[in-house]
Amino acid sequence: MFGRGIGPLEIFLIVVVVLIIFGAGRLPEVGRGIGTAIKEFRGSIGNKDNAENA
């Protein structure tokens, strides 16, 4: 289960848990927040690499 990465069963379980915790109404808001956080994280990593090369 954990040795080979995330499979379809694990993804399904994560989605079910998220639906139970947040509900279907707040799901778009949660997804938007996660997407924004990932975008900012990737941007900060890219800026760090550029600063080290300068």
> What is the rounded average pLDDT of the residues 4-29?
88
Cα(52)–Cα(54) distance, integer angstroms: 6
Q: Is the pLDDT of residue 10 over 70?
A: yes
| Whole-number percent of the chain with pLDDT over 90 | 31
Q: Is the pLDDT of residue 3 over 80?
A: no
> What is the rounded average pLDDT of the residues 14-41?
90
What SS3 class is residue 4? coil
